[in-house]
Amino acid sequence: MFNEEFQLDAPIRWGMVGGGRGSEIGYSHRAAAQRDRLFTFVAAALDLDAERGRDFGTKLGLAPERCYPDYKTLFAEEAKREDGIQAVSIATPNSTHYEIAKAALEAGLHVICEKPATIHVEDALELKALAEKQNKMLAVMYGYTGFQMVHQAREMVRRGDIGAVRVIQMSFAHGFHNTEIEKNSPGAKWRMNPEVSGPSFIIGDCGTHPFYMAGMITGLKVKSLMCSRQSFIESRTPLEDNAHVVFQFEGGAVGTLWASAINSGSMHQQKVRIVGEKASLEWWDEYPNQLRYEVQGEPVRILERGMGYLHNDDPGVSANRQGGGHAEGFFESWANLYHRYALAIDAYNRNDKAFLESHWYPDIDGGIDGVKMVNACVKSADNGAVWVDYD
Ligand code: NAD
């Protein structure tokens, strides 16, 4: 079981940029970071509207003087305090991640950045180099990869339970934008604006999640890809609200990704199916406590979270917070990741390189990969759905 008593010497003093009142993802960060008492939320620049951000921050329990009007003031003022923040999460629209993450790392902070990490590949590479120079953690919030059954899939592939991987089928295809909802939704509006969203809407917004997860489970790297993208809501052009991608992986495996916002009637359809030479695995985020294990010629097995037959190789971090049968969900996945970030930050602070080498968390390499994938898809699609090299 999960060790609720585990604590660091002192909780990490933590701040946020973005994630203000009414934002889609702000609460998830706060709920996950504070879940295990490894982070204490002490300061923020929560909102583009400084007054609204201050009002919201004080209602969340921040001291009024630590609700800052913008990220530059947040980093500068907190650096002057003995009890200033040590880590920050960035939950702002895509085009701002680079400049905010850069400023945070320059201010000597550990950083948890939303995905897609940046718009341009060079920017993500620059952030990686800066984090290394500063000896700080730079994590990317691929929030679905904290689920135990995703880790079970990874371990099964590693142990050879399905044999060599042949096909990877990925999808994140919801129906929430099947009409022009951006007319009345600020959170949807920026996603359709290339200057804020980047060169892609739905591949970057949703496709990056199963793409990262599949790479995490299989360890396979993309060699080349081909993408077709289109917008069924005309006003979204040149961005896409639907895309299909075909991948060739190093070593011979192939794969597909369907990223869509116009899959009418679908809640998420975020699935990763890994087909091996002996068996297949399939995980679906709407049923995250289960993992389908299909051995050729045998009845389908549905593996359940919390059961003794699973490969639980990492009981300290990804252990069950509740016994099997009780559904764990999205917030547990996020809390598992924030727990991992806390351990990584602690190791960075102690300069414990050996721990960091064996400690998994979604880091900037996965962020770089996501940005690369998005840009390669755009290049392929905009040249008539041609094959493009990944690197
Ligand atoms: P949103 O539009 O709902 O909220 C953005 C918030 O950031 C708002 O409160 C806004 O006022 C604030 N903000 C904008 N610019 C700012 C700045 N310069 N300084 C301070 N605050 C600023 O957006 P969202 O849906 O919450 O998405 C935010 C980011 O999170 C995006 O990059 C998105 O891709 C990502 N996201 C990730 C997940 C996930 O599962 N990991 C889910 C949803 C969104």
Q: Is the CB of 92 under 6 A from ligand 1?
A: yes
Cβ burial of 151 (10 Å; 0-12, 13-18, 19+) is: buried
Residues of the chain scoring pLDDT < 70: 313-318
Minimal-distance CA residue to ligand 1 atom 25: 24
Minimal-distance CA residue to ligand 1 atom 9: 20
Ligand 1 atom with the smallest distance to the CA of 186 is: 2
Check residue 216 and give its pLDDT.
Answer: 98
Tell me the whole-structure pTM to 2 decimals: 0.97
Check residue 320 and give its pLDDT.
Answer: 86
Check residue 300 and give its pLDDT.
Answer: 98
Check residue 318 and give its pLDDT.
Answer: 64
Check residue 2 and give its pLDDT.
Answer: 84
Order across the sheet with 254-260: list the strands.
301-304, 290-295, 279-284, 271-276, 165-173, 254-260, 242-249, 222-230, 388-389
Q: Is the CB of 17 under 6 A from ligand 1?
A: yes
- Residue 323 has φ and ψ, to the nearest 5°, of -60, 165
Check residue 329 and give its pLDDT.
Answer: 95
Reduced to 3 states (helix: H, G, I; strand: E, B; else coil), residue 90 is: strand
Minimal-distance CA residue to ligand 1 atom 40: 143
Element (H, E) at 217: helix 208-218
CATH class of segment(s) 146-322+367-382: alpha beta
Nearest residue to 304 (alpha-carbon basis) of 331, 322, 277: 322
Looking only at the bridges linking them, the beta strands covering 301-304 and 290-295 are: antiparallel
- Token digits for 174? 């919801």
Q: Is the CB of 321 under 6 A from ligand 1?
A: no
Q: How many CA atoms lie within 13 A of 26 on its CB side?
A: 21
Report the C-alpha gap between 203 and 380 in whole angstroms. Answer: 13
Q: Is the CB of 18 under 6 A from ligand 1?
A: yes
Report the C-alpha gap between 241 and 185 in whole angstroms. Answer: 16
Check residue 77 and give its pLDDT.
Answer: 98
Check residue 3 and give its pLDDT.
Answer: 86
For residue 89, the CA-to-ligand 1 centroid distance in Å is 11
CATH class of segment(s) 12-143+358-362: alpha beta
Sequence-distant (≥ 6) Cβ neighbours of residue 15 within 8 angstroms: 41, 42, 43, 44, 45, 74, 78, 85, 87, 88, 89
Residue 369, CA distances (Å) to 62, 106, 116, 305 in order: 35, 23, 10, 29
In testing the pocket of ligand 1, which one of 70, 92, 97, 182 has its CB within 8 Å of the most ligand atoms? 92
The most distant pair of C-alpha atoms in the chain lies apart, rounded to whole Å, by 65
Q: Is the CB of 48 under 6 A from ligand 1?
A: yes
Nearest residue to 203 (alpha-carbon basis) of 24, 3, 379, 370: 370
In testing the pocket of ligand 1, which one of 17, 21, 25, 285 has its CB within 8 Å of the most ligand atoms? 25
- Token digits for 120? 């341009």
Ligand 1 atom with the smallest distance to the CA of 144 is: 40
Minimal-distance CA residue to ligand 1 atom 4: 23
Domain with CATH 3.40.50.720 in the chain: 12-143+358-362
In testing the pocket of ligand 1, which one of 21, 23, 184 has its CB within 8 Å of the most ligand atoms? 23
Domain with CATH 3.30.360.10 in the chain: 146-322+367-382
Q: What angle do CA 147, 355, 249 make, to 5 degrees?
A: 55
Side chain identity, residue 117: A
For residue 195, the CA-to-ligand 1 centroid distance in Å is 15
Q: Is the CB of 204 under 6 A from ligand 1?
A: no
Report the C-alpha gap between 78 and 107 in whole angstroms. Answer: 9
Nearest residue to 320 (alpha-carbon basis) of 302, 332, 337: 332
Percentage of residues in the chain with pLDDT exceeding 70?
Answer: 98
Q: Is the CB of 115 under 6 A from ligand 1?
A: yes
